[in-house]
Amino acid sequence: MIIILKDNPEEKQLENLIAWLKSMDLDIHFSQGENTTILGLIGDTSAVDIDLINALDIVDTVKRVQEPYKNVNRKFHPQDTIVDVAGVKIGGGNFQIIAGPCSVESRDQVCQIAKDVKAAGANLYRGGAFKPRTSPYAFQGMRSEGINLLLEAKKESGLPIVTEVMDLSHLPLFEDVDVIQVGARNMQNFELLKELGHLNKPILLKRGLSSTLQELLMSAEYIMAGGNENVILCERGIRTFETATRNTLDLAAVPLLKTMTHLPIVVDPSHATGIAHLVKPMAMAAAAAGADGLMIEVHNDPPHALCDGAQSLTPEAFTDVVKAVNAILPHAYKG
Amino acid sequence: MIIILKDNPEEKQLENLIAWLKSMDLDIHFSQGENTTILGLIGDTSAVDIDLINALDIVDTVKRVQEPYKNVNRKFHPQDTIVDVAGVKIGGGNFQIIAGPCSVESRDQVCQIAKDVKAAGANLYRGGAFKPRTSPYAFQGMRSEGINLLLEAKKESGLPIVTEVMDLSHLPLFEDVDVIQVGARNMQNFELLKELGHLNKPILLKRGLSSTLQELLMSAEYIMAGGNENVILCERGIRTFETATRNTLDLAAVPLLKTMTHLPIVVDPSHATGIAHLVKPMAMAAAAAGADGLMIEVHNDPPHALCDGAQSLTPEAFTDVVKAVNAILPHAYKG
Amino acid sequence: MIIILKDNPEEKQLENLIAWLKSMDLDIHFSQGENTTILGLIGDTSAVDIDLINALDIVDTVKRVQEPYKNVNRKFHPQDTIVDVAGVKIGGGNFQIIAGPCSVESRDQVCQIAKDVKAAGANLYRGGAFKPRTSPYAFQGMRSEGINLLLEAKKESGLPIVTEVMDLSHLPLFEDVDVIQVGARNMQNFELLKELGHLNKPILLKRGLSSTLQELLMSAEYIMAGGNENVILCERGIRTFETATRNTLDLAAVPLLKTMTHLPIVVDPSHATGIAHLVKPMAMAAAAAGADGLMIEVHNDPPHALCDGAQSLTPEAFTDVVKAVNAILPHAYKG
Amino acid sequence: MIIILKDNPEEKQLENLIAWLKSMDLDIHFSQGENTTILGLIGDTSAVDIDLINALDIVDTVKRVQEPYKNVNRKFHPQDTIVDVAGVKIGGGNFQIIAGPCSVESRDQVCQIAKDVKAAGANLYRGGAFKPRTSPYAFQGMRSEGINLLLEAKKESGLPIVTEVMDLSHLPLFEDVDVIQVGARNMQNFELLKELGHLNKPILLKRGLSSTLQELLMSAEYIMAGGNENVILCERGIRTFETATRNTLDLAAVPLLKTMTHLPIVVDPSHATGIAHLVKPMAMAAAAAGADGLMIEVHNDPPHALCDGAQSLTPEAFTDVVKAVNAILPHAYKG
């Protein structure tokens, strides 16, 4: 961390600052220019509060040199992490497609789509039991019953399941779930992240609507700091001024995250665009850019889906996407 | 709700759509132009899923005419709601200042600042016991012990207290808290909002970093739908491309929200700007624009605050802000 | 266009509105519901000012059904436009790579890079003679001399050239330029667009930093309305809250624009990301998503480039990008 | 400027960098930590290209300590600049209201509104002769004829006039105009800014839709670098994800700009919100926050205005705004 002081810092305040920094076991490299005094902090600065130092009268600016994350940092863990989901590997060259309906609606629906997406080439099955909905009057998901139906679909299809948790009090219901998904709105639900850190189960962490990549990594750091190393990141679009698509898919995040972290990164083109006919080209683009997987909404009857129908594919359309993605994969960016 | 169909809609699909709409107890007003067919839905459309209709092959666009919120809607509740916090009224012409430290650090600190802000003219006392922090390595708040210290400060100062809840499992600790704050990151924590709807206690709901005003109102609707009518909205800045301030304070939200809802609206210039010297002018501007109150961070020793020091005022500076705001108030916008 | 009136519109005002709409040669389809009155405007509404109607007391909301653009609209021109640049075709299945230095610096530099990028597989040569720079103290380009050097590079390499115009008063200097580029900051320089509409020369129109896709198409419409049909669109990243990349590349814009317009669309991964190592994966992703071409910065000595060095590739790195893109192309999204 | 090098920088490259920096007349303060080497550049770094240095292999990060602007910088010019417009002073405690119609439509209209706004208390008259319109089919302004009508209105009312230039080739028509306005879309039309720098006439420079405050100041620096010191800045809203208002008025920009620059700052609540009933509260808030003036759209017949009717006030409503603002002014923030 580099602290640039204002011109002619008050002597006493400077002493206080230095004493305080030393109390945090930091060495200080002092460098005095004509007008500018610079303090270089040497040691582990990940716990130093940059805003606090910025608030001091004598400080002009503060700049981190080290990243504020450790466990997720590729610098300290150069190999790709490979997350093993009931034998299905993601990351480190293993590309997987997670597919399924936005929300679980019935036993027939959930089992039928599981078979359909498996036949089309999906390796993981997703479905929403708990649904975060903007309106209190919209369908809120089948909740615990939905999880049971997903587990039945797993038994029938053999596909491991991915489903979203909305509150930490529901975690006991997720015992047999293979991957717990943290939705965009919960990316900074820190109490939930801490709990997930104590599980020994893969977590799929979606980027928040207005979260920076660094914030996404800090949230993954919360989970890893608790001891759970099985984190899969998911880019699913950010909120911008453009309203032609539901969100703006930030695909450059994929290769950039790969330089920052060793964790696998999947892309959700369905939520990112909100438009069914954009799922295919964006899935292909994500594969080309080096993503470790995709998360795609598939519904046997999109117009009657109880939520997010606008972005769902039929099993036929999904089959076509899988083929197109598989043709791209051998030529994809490897980093 | 208005549904505009594509040219020459397929007959069978149109029949299905109409049957489905009628099954939701909606009347349909059918209007056929040369190239354009329009369906006007008459009845309560707040539960109709606009995305779902948009997904239909035969539909070009869908547009809501009615707002998707009811309880918070000023149309159905023209009088301003006045929230009573232990005798301190907010809204309907009652302007209140909520002040206090970002986080509770010690008994001495929290009691001293309470006295200071009361002397300066604050009517409600805020302090963070549970702190949402981006980094798992940053100070996470004194938690339950912090709430106890706030309650002591309340006893000593007589000021009702406002403090943030981070997870619904902590709610039992908030029994004696006067106002429960929902932070920006939890604005769409729908499980938490539902629980708060069953309490009989004022809720201060902060706007999310990238939440639209309609989404803010929908979150308030979650609370009111549960029966709790004591909701105070808080504008605290949104995330934009501008990095000169921490967030961009959207002050036009205040008079605009007042036309949309009857709920009181307070403004938090401290978090919105993240810069101490901008708190005063933005507090004055918020008062001028017709806000029902302010939420301001005050610290007896900003440079040593354990979080968010950069935006905290000293008690002296806060006293100056209160005076400036009080000079504006008689001339403020009344709607 | 659909106009939704407020409840119980004032009779006289409604008559005035209808008379005014009829004066614009529009037919009106009148539809009266219980609480809602809807006017459907039939005819060419592209010249109707939607904001003006919105301002009327009796109007609740106005919604366009037709797009406000005609010449660029794929509805009225279903075939892909193929722009012919001195024999090099872009669009309609013809994929081209435009490459070259950010700014022209010397005869040697500009001729050497032209040979290098041609050898690597580029079909068009770009270089900045007039440079838009945020600071008045930064290098502003070699200007007319730079254009002369580009023309020499064209003669030596045989590659047609693309270069940016900054002001319409400079247009006479561009007579021998093959493609005139309109930069992001000039996307809504309407006086310039009108002039370009009178030329018979391909125009490469870059999307503005905060321009919607509809605004991009409206700017293309300005050029086409003047009679010039040779417009190439360019997605080059938009400004968002994320600062890890210079801009956020909106790749979903490519397949979405293809449904809106018949014009070719190229992608500039260099400016979109501002980071050299992201150019390759984003070029590959753009090809996969169905772009008609790429625009890539190449410099023989990036660290000494007079501008935008951070995002430039060496000729060797560029050669590698071309190979990777060529491997993707046979499998790319075709729409 | 602070340059932080990567660990173990390559010796030869470091020598090259140092030689190059010295060639720009910069002194270098060298500071070697255990893992981190820092170069402090001493001297005038305003012409140093930060992106270029960032591109070097051996460089980790670069950080400016000095602002990249000089003439507009309050550090070098502590007193407020007062711009004198034909005897009407703006800045340094002088608050002025600029009012008038969005676009000039007829002699009668433009002269009538001039009298009306003067009677209400406006001191400067604005009106659009050249109109930047998103659509080529929308009314483009009366152009040179419109300027003549404005000059007649000036003669009749005695109010100095403010009108927008859209292209530098039109500048000769602006000889008798009192203040030349640069619209948001032209804020980075650098060729135009350079020309305006050679005039001896006040320039009102509007912030671009997605321009940072630093970019706004750099554009003002373009004008001042040419010798023209009469620059008035204008905050008029920025583009964000929120669509409830046309733009998001960034009012914190006012007090923040005042610490960065000595130039006067006016606020345009009409364009910022796009909603007539928000003009009054935002005008009041801007006054409270310390703005040096306001720019407000007034129309004698808003529903028939040829553009931007939705945000225009009637003369009566404008009179009410002026009174409300005048009540705030004695209590406004003074810095």
pLDDT tens-digit series, residues A214-258: 999 999 999 999 999 999 999 999 999 999 999 999 999 999 999
Distance CA D77, CA D221 (A): 13
Which chains have 3+ CB pairs within 8 A of C? Answer: A, B, D
Query: In sequence order, what are the residues at sequence separation of 6 or more whose Cβ sits closer than 8 angstroms to the Cβ of residue C5?
Result: C14, C36, C37, C38, C39, C58, C59, C60
- Residue D128's SS3 state is strand
| Sheet bearing D37-42, strands edge to edge | D27-32, D37-42, D2-5, D59-63
ipTM of the complex: 0.93
Range name among A57-66, A142-151, C167-176 with the lowest pLDDT average: A57-66
Distance CA B223, CA B261 (A): 14
Residue A20: name the closest of B305, B133, B109, B304 by CA.
B304
**For the domain bounded by C74-331, which CATH number is listed?**
3.20.20.70
Residue C320: name the closest of C289, C274, C270, C284 by CA.
C284
Distance CA D54, CA C274 (A): 11
Tell me which chain B residues have a C-beta less than 8 angstroms from the C-beta of C240. 241
Distance CA B170, CA B193 (A): 13
B259 residue type, one letter: T
Per-residue pLDDT, C335: 86
Put simply, the chain A residues between 43 and 82 with a CB less than 8 A from any chain D CB are: 60-61, 63, 65
Beta bridge partners of A125: A99, A161
Distance CA D97, CA D90 (A): 9
C34/B contact by beta carbon, under 8 A: yes
Distance CA A21, CA A19 (A): 6
pLDDT digits (tens, 9 = 90+) for C141-186: 999 999 999 999 999 999 999 999 999 999 999 999 999 999 999 9
Distance CA B274, CA B244 (A): 10
Tell me which chain C residues have a C-beta less than 8 angstroms from the C-beta of D47. 135, 137-138
Q: What is the pLDDT averaged over residues B240-249?
A: 96
**Residue B106: Cβ within 10 Å count:** 11
> Among D28, D31, D64, D238, which would you mutate to test the A interface (most chain A Cβ atoms within 10 Å of its Cβ)?
D31
Do C35 and B42 lie within an 8 Å CB cutoff? yes
Do C239 and D55 lie within an 8 Å CB cutoff? no
CA distance to partner chain A, nearest, from residue B183 (Å): 11
CA distance to partner chain D, nearest, from residue B147 (Å): 33
What is the token pair recorded at B136?
A: 């798992």
Confidence at B224, pLDDT banded by 50, 70, 90: very high
Quote the Cα angle for A85-A86-A91, to 5°: 30
D242/B contact by beta carbon, under 8 A: yes
C6/B contact by beta carbon, under 8 A: no
CA distance to partner chain A, nearest, from residue B128 (Å): 15
Distance CA D291, CA D96 (A): 10
Q: What is the pLDDT averaged over residues B192-211?
A: 97
Contact call for residues A40 and A47 (beta carbons, < 8 A): no
CA distance to partner chain B, nearest, from residue A225 (Å): 7
- Picking from B56, B222, B311, the nearest residue to A303 by CB comes out as B56
B284/D contact by beta carbon, under 8 A: yes
Average of per-residue pLDDT values in chain B: 92
Distance CA D303, CA D295 (A): 20
Which alpha helices (DSSP H) does chain A contain, by range?
11-23, 50-54, 107-120, 144-157, 190-197, 213-225, 253-260, 269-273, 276-288, 315-328
Q: Tokens 């150069």 appear where?
A: A78
Distance CA A196, CA C219 (A): 49
**Residue D79: Cβ within 10 Å count:** 9
Considering only the C-alpha atoms of chain D, give the largest distance between any 2 of them, rounded to a whole number of Å: 76
Distance CA A18, CA B260 (A): 52
Put simply, the chain C residues between 212 and 231 with a CB less than 8 A from any chain D CB are: 215, 218, 221-222, 225
Quote the Cα angle for C211-D220-D169, to 5°: 70
Residue of B nearest to A311 (CA): B55
Do A38 and D40 lie within an 8 Å CB cutoff? yes
C230 residue type, one letter: N
**Residues present in chain A in total:** 335
A210/C contact by beta carbon, under 8 A: yes
Beta bridge partners of C27: C42
CA distance to partner chain A, nearest, from residue C92 (Å): 17
Q: Is the predicted pLDDT of residue D221 greater than 80, yes or no? A: yes
Distance CA D177, CA D161 (A): 6
Distance CA D294, CA D270 (A): 10
- Picking from A240, A277, A284, the nearest residue to C248 by CB comes out as A240
Do D31 and A36 lie within an 8 Å CB cutoff? no
Give Cα separations from B51 to B47, D211, D304 (angstroms): 12, 33, 36
Q: Is the predicted pLDDT of residue D169 greater than 60, yes or no? A: yes
Per-residue pLDDT, D304: 59
Q: Residue A108 burial by CB count (10 A; 0-12/13-18/19+): exposed, middle or buried?
A: exposed
Taken in order D84, D87, D90, D92, is the CA torsion positive or negative?
positive
CA distance to partner chain B, nearest, from residue C182 (Å): 23
Per-residue pLDDT, D216: 98
> Among B215, B245, B250, B259, which would you mutate to test the D interface (most chain D Cβ atoms within 10 Å of its Cβ)?
B250
Put simply, the chain D residues between 166 and 195 with a CB less than 8 A from any chain C CB are: 166-170, 185-186, 188-194
Do A252 and C248 lie within an 8 Å CB cutoff? yes
Residue ranges of chain D that CATH labels 3.30.70.1140? 2-63
**Residues present in chain B in total:** 335
Range name among A35-49, A189-203, C158-172, C288-302 with the lowest pLDDT average: A35-49
- Picking from A214, A249, A289, the nearest residue to C252 by CB comes out as A249
Which chains have 3+ CB pairs within 8 A of D? Answer: A, B, C
Q: Tokens 């205005």 appear where?
A: D305
**Residues present in chain C in total:** 335
Contact call for residues C258 and C290 (beta carbons, < 8 A): yes
Residue ranges of chain A that CATH labels 3.20.20.70? 74-331
CA distance to partner chain C, nearest, from residue D80 (Å): 23
pLDDT digits (tens, 9 = 90+) for B115-136: 999 999 999 999 999 999 999 9
pLDDT digits (tens, 9 = 90+) for C286-329: 999 999 999 999 987 755 555 556 678 999 999 999 999 999 99
Do A285 and C280 lie within an 8 Å CB cutoff? no
Position with higher pLDDT, D40 vs C47: D40
Q: What is the pLDDT averaged over residues D130-159?
A: 94
CA distance to partner chain C, nearest, from residue A86 (Å): 30
pLDDT (tens, 9 = 90+) of chain C, 335 residues, equals: 888 888 778 888 888 888 888 888 888 877 776 666 778 787 777 777 777 787 777 888 787 777 889 999 999 999 999 999 999 999 999 999 999 999 999 999 999 999 999 999 999 999 999 999 999 988 899 999 999 999 999 999 999 999 999 999 999 999 999 999 999 999 999 999 999 999 999 999 999 999 999 999 999 999 999 999 999 999 999 999 999 999 999 999 999 999 999 999 999 999 999 999 999 999 999 999 999 999 999 987 755 555 556 678 999 999 999 999 999 999 999 98
Q: Are strands A88-90 and D265-267 parallel, antiparallel or unpaired?
A: unpaired
**Residue D215: Cβ within 10 Å count:** 17
**Residue D257: Cβ within 10 Å count:** 25
Confidence at D33, pLDDT banded by 50, 70, 90: low
Per-residue pLDDT, C303: 55
> Among C73, C140, C191, which would you mutate to test the D interface (most chain D Cβ atoms within 10 Å of its Cβ)?
C191
Q: Is the predicted pLDDT of residue D182 greater than 80, yes or no? A: yes
Q: What is the pLDDT averaged over residues D25-48?
A: 76
CA distance to partner chain D, nearest, from residue A18 (Å): 17
What is the token pair recorded at C38?
A: 């809807």
Residue of B nearest to A61 (CA): B310
Do C137 and D222 lie within an 8 Å CB cutoff? no
Tell me which chain D residues have a C-beta less than 8 angstroms from the C-beta of C215. 134
- Residue B266's SS3 state is strand
- Residue D277's SS3 state is helix
Taken in order D244, D245, D246, D250, is the CA torsion positive or negative?
negative
Tell me which chain A residues have a C-beta less than 8 angstroms from the C-beta of D35. 42
Give the DSSP per-residue string, C133-177. Answer: -SSTTS----THHHHHHHHHHHHHH---EEEEE--GGGGGGGTT-
Give Cα separations from D78 to D64, D72, D258 (angstroms): 21, 10, 10
Distance CA C200, CA C198 (A): 7
Considering only the C-alpha atoms of chain A, give the largest distance between any 2 of them, rounded to a whole number of Å: 76
Query: In sequence order, what are the residues at sequence separation of 6 or more whose Cβ sits closer than 8 angstroms to the Cβ of residue D182?
Result: D164, D165, D189, D192, D193, D196, D203, D204, D205, D206, D219
Residue D188: name the closest of D164, D220, D163, D165 by CA.
D220
Position with higher pLDDT, A129 vs D41: A129
- Picking from A47, A138, A193, the nearest residue to B138 by CB comes out as A47
Q: Is the predicted pLDDT of residue A33 greater than 70, yes or no? A: no
- Picking from D46, D193, D304, the nearest residue to C137 by CB comes out as D46
Do C36 and B243 lie within an 8 Å CB cutoff? no
Do A309 and B135 lie within an 8 Å CB cutoff? no
Residue B289: name the closest of C227, D273, D166 by CA.
D273
Contact call for residues D268 and D234 (beta carbons, < 8 A): yes
Q: Is the predicted pLDDT of residue B99 greater than 70, yes or no? A: yes
Query: In sequence order, what are the residues at sequence separation of 6 or more whose Cβ sits closer than 8 angstroms to the Cβ of residue C198?
Result: C226, C227, C228
Do A282 and C328 lie within an 8 Å CB cutoff? no
Residue C114: name the closest of C128, C95, C127 by CA.
C127
- Residue C13's SS3 state is helix
- Picking from B52, B189, B302, the nearest residue to A189 by CB comes out as B189
Beta bridge partners of D5: D37, D59
Residue of B nearest to A247 (CA): B210
CA distance to partner chain C, nearest, from residue B117 (Å): 35
A146 residue type, one letter: G
**For the domain bounded by B2-63, which CATH number is listed?**
3.30.70.1140
Do B285 and D281 lie within an 8 Å CB cutoff? no
Distance CA B69, CA B88 (A): 28
What is the token pair recorded at A44?
A: 């582990």
Per-residue pLDDT, A271: 95
Q: Is the predicted pLDDT of residue D118 greater than 60, yes or no? A: yes
D155 residue type, one letter: K
Residue of C nearest to D210 (CA): C210
What is the token pair recorded at D287?
A: 């006054």
Confidence at D214, pLDDT banded by 50, 70, 90: very high
Average of per-residue pLDDT values in chain A: 92
Distance CA C93, CA C290 (A): 9
Q: What are phi and psi of A9, to 5 degrees?
A: -65, 145
Q: What is the pLDDT averaged over residues D241-262?
A: 97
A·B CB contacts under 8 A: 140
DSSP state of A128: B
